[in-house]
Structure 1
């Protein structure tokens, strides 16, 4: 097991060495994105059902559910629940959008490295230029893969949060 982990670490280190330091930024953005996503799923599947049940119980315990005042209380509860459901979704979508941009930053820095090599060595050394070109393309690929890994789950998370809100609204009848 330890040998496997050491081999995995060597592979990651080689990948970062080939792609450049910008990959650390991609990794940090990816880490933040997935921490937020796991927290949102945990809230949606673990915490929100208890809050929904509490709101429904409080609504059903009310004697007055038809007056204008009761409807404003209902709207406030739904709005509060909706706000909690959509919390940090903007951060999540921002991190998804930032990942490819960080990858493009890696492309620019890699191309600058290629041009520096060409200025110093000339165009006669393709092996040195290939290192710079891989430094330019790997961060772009990593940024795109990071963004794609989050897009699918973020869309599903957003759809489930909207469905949970609609389910809560439907569970609070207003006679």
Structure 2
């Protein structure tokens, strides 16, 4: 195996996997790409951007002269709400991508099984080769959908908990 073949191995492996999983696998990969882009963005946000936002909101609150009136409490609630919205803005899309992946895998399963039945109809009997091809499409699509979903499930829940935790901490920082 030469150097070029080794460099192209991930791409040829991906192409082979897509062929084995049928037409639904590129959609599962697109879902995974969207999901992992959102995960990376939220990780970056909480790691780099949110500390500056938290410091800015705390400075705005400390710059107020009084903190005990009704209007001051409303300003505090608004600041906390702004931070919560900024933290959770892309989370609904992330929570949608997690269940879509196994649903796409299920669609691949159904289409793979339809290929099995079509092969049986064409040949008039159960041909092992055509059945194996359809079952292979079905299983690869199912597996890919589940892998994508399970890999994103932790992060979707983690970021949701992080938003709740940071919102509570911000409420403590903006004391009366």
* TM-score interval for Structure 1 and Structure 2 normalised by the shorter chain: over 0.9
Provide Cα deviations, 1:21-64, integer angstroms capped at 9, x if missing partner: 10000001111111111111111121111010011111112111
Task: Label 1:21 to 1:5 Cα distance change in 2 as closer, same or farther (>3 A).
Answer: farther
Q: String of CA shifts for 1:86-112, please: whole Å, max 9, x gaps.
A: 111111000001000000010111111
Residue number in structure 1 paired with 2:23 = 21
Equivalent residue pairs, number: 174
Q: Does 1:148 align with 2:147?
A: no
> Paired residue for 1:99?
101
More moved, 158-167 vs 80-89: 158-167
8 Å CA contact 1:44, 1:161 repeated in 2: no
Aligned to 2:166: 164
Q: How does 1:80-91 map to 2 (within 5 A)?
A: 80-91=82-93
Structure 1: unaligned runs, 5 residues or longer: none
Which of 79, 82, 100 matches 2:81?
A: 79
Asked if 2 retains the 8 angstrom alpha-carbon contact of 1:20 and 1:106, the reply is yes
Q: CA deviation at 1:158?
A: 1.6
Q: Which contiguous aligned blocks of 4+ residues in structure 1 show a shift greater than 4 angstroms? A: none
| Match status 1:126 vs 2:128 | yes
Counterparts of 2:118 and 2:125 in 1: how far apart (Å)?
11
Structure 1 residue 5: deviation in Å? Answer: 2.8
Q: Does 1:31 align with 2:33?
A: yes
Structure 2 CA distance, aligned partners of 1:41 and 1:10? 31
TM-score, scaled relative to structure 1: 0.95
1:124–1:59 Cα change, 3 Å: closer
Equivalences for residues 27-66 of structure 1 within 5 A: 27-66=29-68
Alignment correspondent of 2:137: 135
- Which structure 2 segments of 5+ residues have no match? none
Normalising by structure 2, what TM-score? 0.94
- Match of 1:82, SS? helix
